[in-house]
Amino acid sequence: MAMDQVRALLEQLDSLKTNLHEQDFLLTWNQWTDELKAVLVVAEVLEELHRANVSTRVFDSGLAVANFRDKSTRTRFSFASAASLLGLTVQELDEAKSQIAHGETVRETANMISFLTEIVGIRDDLYLGEGHRYMAAVAAALEEGHEEGVLPQRPAVINLQCDLDHPTQTLSDLLHLQKTFGSLEVLRGKKIAMTWAYSPSYGKPLSVPQGIICLMTRFGMHVALAHPDGYELQPETIERAGQFAAESGGSFECVESMGEAFCDADIVYPKSWAPYYTMENRTAALRNGDASVLGKIDQAGLENNARFKEWECSKELMSLTRGGKALYMHCLPADISGINCEAGEVAADVFDSYRLATYREASHKPFIIAAMMMLTRLEKPGDVLRRIVARGESRRMM
């Protein structure tokens, strides 16, 4: 059964128009819709082959370099898992232990880490206007190195979260929705509530809510965004979400409360992010080289968060959703009231009801990242996957 499903998925992949080979994967809204679908399809194929104990190693050698400029659990281990799944060796770039700490430039570092590298994965999400800019600078340096003959090949840069978008997370979320509801087509007309929620932990990036509103509107969903005053998202992403909704037949609206967003929702995604002024002040401090004030900036943001402790995903709010049974989603880790904090994003009883579902949501990320790796590095990934199926080599001795 698994192989029949794989063959059907590969036929679907053949029908999709993509231009990802030897390209980067930085922002979902810069990719064709078929390219996003191709990532989902390849990820599904890899999941099925992994369950069937089929080896999917397509690289005999090469590095997957991980540059995490912010803390990470799920994405860090998902990146490593994806690389291993395809036969690449992971090397983490610790900037504090590299010559970057002594002033090495982005252009130099990008080339020095890439002589035998296939993929460079970067997380840089804490400063508005900086994360995506840094990834683009790395990509430009790699392009120059390859064009000038320094690098025998040009590695692909994959966005593991920046200030604008979190493609590996939101595409994992979309695959979770596809599997939960049955297909992308069934998602058309479904309502998803992307709402701010209270957190006492730290000023979280804006990239997940921005990525969600820009991705789900492309697939005909009705997206409702809710947040307190002062927690606006970047204007570019609001504009894009509206455009995508108009093009897909979905809708996008900004509402004033969690209750309004949750009303008749099929999916809810309550998650904290930092006040907009906090993100702006962080960036200003970074550019001024004033690291000493960053803690004070974040503390002020948390104090502002505390004004909105009622923004919690509770049973009462969940009862407003369609049939009172909306799917709860979170990128994790969630701030769970009475569990890992006194008051947080979600009530303990709500989270516990959906805990395993959120784990399944997270489980797709290694395969999403591996799919991005395959599509950016292999000219004909469908043919390669067919050879993998024909080869039938076990990944684990039975």
- What is the pLDDT at residue 59? 98
* CATH number (domain holding residue 374): 3.40.50.1370
Q: Identify the band that residue 286 occupies on the pLDDT scale cut at 50, 70 and 90.
A: confident
* Count of structural domains, the chain: 2
Q: Could you report the per-residue pLDDT of 4-48, keeping only the tens digit for each?
A: 899 999 999 999 999 999 999 999 999 999 999 999 999 999 999
Domain that holds residue 303: 169-362
Q: Let me know whether 76 and 156 are in one domain.
A: yes
Q: Identify the band that residue 102 occupies on the pLDDT scale cut at 50, 70 and 90.
A: confident
Q: Is residue 396 in some structural domain? A: no
Of 9, 68, 61, 79, nearest in space to 39 by CA: 9
Please tell me the distance from the alpha carbon of residue 377 to that of residue 69, in angstroms, as a whole number.
24
Q: Could you report the per-residue pLDDT of 230-262, keeping only the tens digit for each?
A: 999 999 999 999 999 999 999 999 999 999 999
Q: Is residue 398 in some structural domain? A: no
Q: Let me know whether 281 and 181 are in one domain.
A: yes
Q: Let me know whether 289 and 204 are in one domain.
A: yes
- What is the pLDDT at residue 147? 98
Of 75, 41, 51, nearest in space to 366 by CA: 75
Q: Is the pLDDT of residue 398 over 80?
A: no
Q: Let me know whether 342 and 369 are in one domain.
A: no
Mean pLDDT score, 188-203: 96
Q: Is residue 160 in some structural domain? A: yes
Minimum mean pLDDT range among 120-124, 265-269, 294-298: 294-298
Q: Let me know whether 152 and 207 are in one domain.
A: no
Q: Let me know whether 49 and 84 are in one domain.
A: yes
Q: Is the pLDDT of residue 204 over 60?
A: yes
Q: Is the pLDDT of residue 342 over 90?
A: yes
Q: Is residue 246 in some structural domain? A: yes
Q: Is residue 325 in some structural domain? A: yes
- In 3-state terms, what secondary structure has residue 16? coil
Q: Is residue 96 in some structural domain? A: yes
- What is the pLDDT at residue 257? 98
Q: Is residue 137 in some structural domain? A: yes
Q: Let me know whether 41 and 81 are in one domain.
A: yes
Q: Let me know whether 133 and 269 are in one domain.
A: no
- What is the pLDDT at residue 124? 97
Q: Tell me how long the chain is.
A: 398
Q: Identify the band that residue 343 occupies on the pLDDT scale cut at 50, 70 and 90.
A: very high
Q: Let me know whether 84 and 205 are in one domain.
A: no
Alpha helices, H only, 122-255: 131-147, 167-181, 184-187, 207-216, 235-248
- What is the pLDDT at residue 335? 98
Q: Identify the band that residue 290 occupies on the pLDDT scale cut at 50, 70 and 90.
A: confident
Q: Let me know whether 337 and 380 are in one domain.
A: no
- What is the pLDDT at residue 3? 85
Q: Is residue 397 in some structural domain? A: no
Q: Let me know whether 378 and 335 are in one domain.
A: no
Q: Let me know whether 209 and 187 are in one domain.
A: yes
